[in-house]
Amino acid sequence: MKKKAFFVLIIKKWYLCKQKEPDMKLKFTIQYATEWGQSLHVVLKYVSQYSTERQQNLTMLTDDGQQWTVETAVIESRQHPVTAIVYYYQVEDAEGEVLRREWNAIPRYYSFDSSKNYLFADMWRDKPLNHHLYSAAYATTMRFADKGEVRPLRMPLYRKTILFRVSAPQLLEGQSVALIGSHPALGCWNPARYLQMTPIGGHDWMLSVSVEATEGAMEYKYVVTDNQTHELIAWEEGDNRIWHNEIADGQVWVAYGEPLRLCEKSWRCAGVVVPVFALRSERSYGVGDFGDLKQLVDWAVLTGQKIIQLLPVNDTTTDGSWANSHPYNITSCFALHPHYLDLEQLGALGDKKLMTAFHRRRRELNALKISDYEAVERVKRDYVAEAFKECGQRVLESDGFKTWYTENQDWLDDYARWRQPENTSLVYFVQYQLHCQLKAAADYARQHGVSLKGDLPIGVNRESAETMFHPNLFHLEAQAGAIPSAQQPQGQNWGFPTYEWSDHLVVWLRRRLRWMAQYFDALRIDHVLAFFRLWEIPVNSLYGLLGHFSPSLPLTVGEIEYFGLPFRKDFMTRPFVDNRVIDRLFGIHSQYVRDHFLDNGKYGLYSLKPEFATQRQIQNHFEGLTDENSLWIRDGLMRLVCNVLFLEDNRQPDMYHPRFAIYQDSVFEALPAEEREAFMRLYNHYFFQRHNFFWGKLATQRLSDVFDNSDMLCCAEDLGLLPDCVAPVLDQQRILTLEVQSLPKQTNYEFTHLDGNPYRSVCTISTHDMPSLRLWWAESPERTQRYYVTMLQKQGRAPEQLPAHLAEEIIARHLYCPSMLCLLSLQDWLSMDGELRAANPREERINTPNDPYNRWQWRMHLTIEQLMAATKYNNKVRTMITRSKR
């Protein structure tokens, strides 16, 4: 019995050994200089044969704070054999908070052989300087085939193996990467004996080499070869790469260091900026649609333009009124606007009388100079309802719809319940048709070498599907706006709720980017400053003057007094109202205001009655009153509310923000001279010094988390009052800046020199928030004269109206500037043709930011068909773009 038990034990051990394979080792080494309290980590993921995944966070070790190493054993079983590994590096602090991650858009993804030990000699990867070469916009405009995602190809392994891997986005079509070096296995520097590498996706190439006898250092370089002739075209630049690691039996060394050192040709493109709603064709219904977008692609191809930039195409509908025409006031981050539905692609209705009536309504809408939002809403809503009756059920039962619904159910069901809870099927039908039409237009553009550039609105409508179903993502007690300026002294109040930054918000923003990537190769980040800080206004306020930066570092009472300013809470945080202020603001209505809106206080001061303590209460009280006296009193009361030195932080009690531009108001004048000086020291410190490092660090993390793994070319809208940290952070993140010659970013300059534009930028003449070139020229003769003399270097008096030949010169100067992209509004492109441009430049303006009732109604005054037929003009545009090497 003892012998039998012994043999049973032996058999059990043998069985367990067969179940558990030998532990194979992975060793990671990297050089990275950390600061005190920081540590480097490898986030390692094992991928099994059946796509199951297991993740580890490995803490690396160092002796000098620069050279980091970690080893780990790969434990696998027959049930779940590891077939591949993928990993990246990150920096953590002592509490385990992630401070920084390396760029991981091209993952470190490798096939795994359990009979080998792997050693990874790595370099930290920041976003490469030529990051734009990895973008979808570059691939589309260069007509490159899709490189696909990195895949873990199984390469041949030997007794001693080096896996060479390199990233080579500079290659042109028909080119490959090869390896040549000093070792006999690498060809002994003989150009005829190069080793061809294998593409593994994502612009990366790999080659496995057997190195049996290596004595001393081994030198090598990557070279570029021609796929057809197999000739060696170019050697990479710089010194030879050196390999000096000893390789033992059964080891696989992975050499993945610098990308291919080869100077790429400058990639520069021209394009047009136009809202979809502004397009006009003979077949559209009073507003541009996704069918018109295809025709615009044809015009772009005809003129040599490679980029079409659009305004947001998201749904903005709440009640179908003119207020919904604002394309940035979106009600869903994923739903497309029903106005952009091409009705002809839906097909003709079976009822001929109805079709005749719709054709008549189309002619009436197209006869208008503008896009009539409310009329378009009625026509398209009626047509879609009839189309849904005829073919809706058939579409909803199709395989294409079912697949799309499954992929978009996470947002579609919520949106449908919010939009039309009584008929969600109609919402599904409309959104599916919109998706198919925009996707078809995007694919058509890509096939013709044209990239669509989308727009990522920074805010959402307060009454939207997003705020209803994801309230945790927003601060609904606050609203976003813009800081006051010389042009808009009260600031702007956009009404959008501000964001509650969290991991949930990052996931949501990444989901938005994946949705946009279906249609767009490039992306405009609206108000990129929101990733640094937003101008946040309490929901009970209307003026931007009562806002403050968020996030920010508000001041404690101790900090305020450190600057020499004694803090008196009642005096400094409540509106300052005395008889002099009342008489100055209200004139003949002063006594009426004292009697009805104010309470008497001590020392000759007054306070607003509780029912008029906020601007929202004042607005509600005067609702519907339009006579001059009522408006005078209302606006005066609004200004009284703003007459405060400090604003208390609504989330951190006893912390305070100085009110912006308060030195222009009466409460500042009421301070003694020494306190005014102390306040200005505090003010300048708070607004121009205190937050730079804080915002820079914050924005770096946020921008990395959201945009790092997107292949869209990211372009920032970075106009306005910019903190010093913005430019270096955008440069580090390889995000294109926006350069407008009439809006210089350097202080004390009226215009910028186009030759000074950075390469990683988008240059333009005007934006949708500005007057067009012709209108800008006519608005201020004095400013125009200075531009005429200093920038255009002309003599004499500038013409009152911009002539076509000068517009052509201005456009040419922009085309020849160093900026990567030159994207001009359609109005500005047309300004250089006296016959094609609109008769009245005042009709070309799209938006006036300081007008809360602005109607977004501008529409092309000529059709795309007429534009296509303008052969002489189109040839001129193509010639200018070609000569500027765009």
Q: Which residues have CB under 8 Å from 791's CB, separation 6+?
A: 741, 751, 753
What pLDDT, on a 0 to 100 scale, did the predictor assign at position 214?
64
**What is the pLDDT, as a whole number, of residue 251?**
92
Task: Give the number of other Cβ atoms within 10 Å of residue 104's Cβ.
Answer: 17
Q: What is the reported pLDDT for 364?
A: 95
The answer to whether 735 and 726 have CB atoms below 8 angstroms apart is: no
Q: Note the pLDDT tens digit of each residue in 346-387.
A: 999 999 999 999 999 999 999 999 999 999 999 999 999 999
CA distance linking residue 255 with residue 574, whole number of Å: 65
The residues facing 536 across adjacent strands are 480, 548
Q: pLDDT band for 402, please (50, 70, 90 cuts).
A: very high
How many percent of the chain have pLDDT more than 90? 87
Position 81 scores a pLDDT of: 87
Least confident window among 45-49, 214-218, 293-297, 603-607: 214-218
Look at residue 2 in the predicted model and tell me its pLDDT: 44
Q: Which residues contact 458 (CB under 8 A, 6 or more apart)?
A: 328, 480, 496, 525, 526, 527, 530
pLDDT score for 439: 98
pLDDT of 264: 86
What is the tens place of the pLDDT at every residue in 482-540?
898 887 889 989 999 999 999 999 999 999 999 999 999 999 999 999 999 999 999 99
Confidence category of residue 341, pLDDT binned at 50, 70, 90: very high
Whether residue 606 has pLDDT greater than 90: yes
The pLDDT of residue 215 is: 67
**Mean pLDDT for the stretch of residues 419-423:** 93
Q: Quick one: tokens of 839?
A: 């008769």
Q: What is the pLDDT at residue 79?
A: 74
pLDDT value, residue 322? 94
Find the helix or strand (DSSP H, E) in which 105 lies.
none
pLDDT at residue 243, as a whole number: 87
CA-based max dimension of the chain:
117
Could you tell me the CA-to-CA distances from 188 to 216, 325, 362 in Å, in that order?
15, 68, 74
Reduced to 3 states (helix: H, G, I; strand: E, B; else coil), residue 85 is strand
Is 404:334 a contact under the CB 8 Å cutoff? Answer: no
* Cis upstream peptide for 744 (omega within 30°): no
Reduce the DSSP state of residue 197 to 3 states and report it: coil
> CB neighbours of 162 closer than 8 A, spacing ≥ 6?
208, 209, 211, 243, 247, 252, 253, 254, 255
**In b/e form, how buried is each residue of 523-560, taking b as 16+ CB within 10 angstroms?**
bbbbbbbbbbbbbbbbbebbbbbbbbbbbbebbeeebb
More confident residue, 542 or 18: 542
Mean pLDDT of 702-713: 95
| 628 CB burial (10 A radius; 0-12, 13-18, 19+) | exposed
Residues 6+ apart with CB under 8 A from 753: 791
**Residue carrying structure tokens 């009421």:** 670
Can you tell me the distance from the alpha carbon of 655 to that of 213, in angstroms, rounded to the nearest whole number?
A: 69
Q: What is the mean pLDDT of residues 589-600?
A: 95
Segment 864-870 shows an average pLDDT of 97
Q: At what angle do helices 352-366 and 373-396 cross, to 10 degrees?
A: 140
User: What is residue 124's predicted lDDT score, i.e. its pLDDT?
Assistant: 95
User: Which tens digits make up the pLDDT trace of 155-186?
Assistant: 999 999 999 999 999 999 999 999 999 988 89
Q: How many whole angstroms separate alpha carbon 170 and alpha carbon 267?
A: 11
Determine the Cα–Cα distance for residues 550 and 500; give it in Å rounded to an integer: 10
- Picking from 84, 99, 83, the residue whose alpha carbon sits closest to that of residue 32 is 99
Percentage of the chain exceeding pLDDT 70: 97
| Res 5 pLDDT > 60 | no
Average pLDDT over residues 576-581: 94
pLDDT band at 148 (very low <50, low <70, confident <90, very high): confident
Pairing of strands 218-226, 451-456: unpaired
The pairing of strands 522-525 and 713-716 is: parallel
What are the b/e assignments for 228-261, b being 16+ CB within 10 Å? eeeeebeebeeeebebeeebeeebbbbbbeebbb
Mean per-residue pLDDT of the chain: 93
What letter represents residue 414's amino acid? Answer: D
CA 366 to centroid of chain Cα atoms: 34
Tell me how far apart the alpha carbons of residues 100 and 725 are, in angstroms, rounded to a whole number: 17
- Backbone φ and ψ of 101, nearest 5°: -120, 150
Average pLDDT for residues 467-476, to the nearest whole number? 96
**CA 555 vs CA 198, 558, 660, 673, 683: distances in Å:** 58, 8, 14, 22, 11
Lowest mean pLDDT among 34-38, 559-563, 655-659: 34-38
Give the pLDDT score at 147.
80
**197-251: pLDDT as tens digits:** 999 999 999 999 998 766 678 899 999 999 999 999 999 999 999 988 888 899 9
Which residues are within 8 A (CB) of 831 and not within 5 positions of it... i.e. 6 or more apart? 772, 773, 774, 802, 804, 807, 811, 837
Q: What is the pLDDT of residues 301-326, one digit of tens each?
A: 999 999 999 999 999 999 999 999 99
Within 8 A by CB and 6+ apart from 610, the residues are: none
List the one residue out of 219, 215, 207, 254 whose CA is nearest residue 108.
Answer: 254
CA distances 348 to 128, 344, 359, 523, 595, Å, are 51, 7, 11, 35, 67
Q: Which two tokens stand for residue 621?
A: 């009280």
How high is the pLDDT of residue 16? 41
pLDDT at 500: 95
pLDDT of 568 reads: 94
- The burial class, CB within 10 Å (0-12 / 13-18 / 19+), for 51 is exposed
Per-residue pLDDT, 383 = 96
Answer yes or no: is pLDDT of 6 > 70: no
Asked if pLDDT for residue 664 goes beyond 80, the answer is yes
Q: Rounded distance, CA 449 to CA 436, Å?
A: 20
